[in-house]
Amino acid sequence: MTNHIAVIKGDGIGPEIVTEAMKVLDRVAEVFGHTFEYEQLLMGGCSIDAYGEPLTDDTIAACKRADAVLMGSIGGNTTTSPWYKLPAHLRPEAGLLKLRKSLGLFANLRPCVLYPELRRACTLREDISEQGFDMLIMRELTGGLYFGERHTEPVDGVMTAVDTLKYDENEIRRIAIKAFEVAMKRRRKVTSVDKANVLDTSRLWRKVVEEVAKDYPEVTLEHALVDSTAMQIVRAPAQFDVMVTENMFGDILSDEAAMVTGSLGMLPSASLNETKFGLYEPSGGSAPDIAGKDIANPIAAILSGAMLLRYSLDMQAEADAVEAAVKQVLADGYRTGDIMSEGCTRVGCAEMGTLIAERVKKGA
């Protein structure tokens, strides 16, 4: 059987890290007897350069035809890049928001795992990092402040900007159901993060999550305010299993969680709709300052490929094999610069991809 994967390499380090993820997927195909067919597409700054817009209708249509989308980082330097002199709807990130909406990708899953081999790279105190942690942040992706009505206009002679935060109960219910379903396959705990002491949207969020929780009596539900959660992530991250939250809170908390794992270069993500279709991308940015230098960490992109195998293609053993290969390379002491520590061997982006691909095997 041939699986069709749309590939958007993106900008900055995107082409480098996605190339390594494809290298690992090709190794999976070889070892397990699959065929992966890639269709390479443009989105972001490279699409602006080629077509004058960050996302074309043709690219959306091609993604919809695929079994899944593998994507790199998009965008550039917001200070110096000409892309950011364009109107907001023509900037690189506008393409990403449009793609998520067009594909119905409402659930963003970001696993944050501190590998034992990377505890020295963790920014937390040693007594905290020694405990390790394995949490999954589930972020609602197509509602909230990023998609609400917005405008900037003079009010009584003063320029005033307005962004609207809006959620309805159906949007909240479907992400809550997804969170509880995932929790049932993990440690059966959900932490719902909101700002219910201030926001009406958060009070509705909390009410709907509690309604959904009644259908999952095996799962423990706790509520937490977003500011307190930000503190707890650096104080005691091992307490969290599945964290579910709205769009902007999830955007901020997942980057914080990524850094306590050692590097953004270690954090994959999956964005899913109501079917098995998903878009898979590393959580870090395009890092234009290091693009083309073969020093980027491809592990987040490679682990995103593993999530693609697991969630969209139902290839559990293959996903396990990729994750085991990553753990083995780390155990063998290989590091890119962002996770380098004393006594390890420093390698570049391409070599890291090759090392991981070589360790993909059945029965991992």
* Catalytic entry in 227, 293, 314, 361: 227
Whether 362 sits among the annotated catalytic residues: the reply is no
* Catalytic entry in 146, 167, 216, 311: 146
**What is the rounded distance in angstroms from the CA atom of residue 328 to the CA atom of residue 301?**
17
Whether 58 sits among the annotated catalytic residues: the reply is no
Is 43:10 a contact under the CB 8 Å cutoff? yes
Q: Cα–Cα distances in Å, from 49 out to 81, 83, 92, 328? A: 12, 9, 10, 40
Closest CA to 286 of 81, 111, 109: 81
H/E element holding 154? strand 150-155
* Catalytic entry in 9, 11, 195, 241: 195
* Catalytic entry in 178, 251, 311, 334: 251
H/E element holding 47? helix 45-51
Q: List the helix and strand counts (H, then E) for the chain.
A: 12, 14
Number of Cβ atoms within 10 Å of the Cβ of 129: 22
* Catalytic entry in 26, 67, 134, 255: 255
List phi, psi (to 5°) of 357. Answer: -60, -40
Give residues with Cβ within 8 angstroms of 80, minimum separation 6: none
Number of Cβ atoms within 10 Å of the Cβ of 338: 18
Whether 241 sits among the annotated catalytic residues: the reply is no
Sheet with 35-41: strands ordered across: 35-41, 2-8, 68-71, 278-282, 268-272, 107-113, 134-140, 242-245, 189-194, 220-225
Phi-psi region of 330 (alpha: psi -120 to 50; beta: other; left: phi over 0): alpha
Give me the active site residues, please.
146, 195, 227, 251, 255
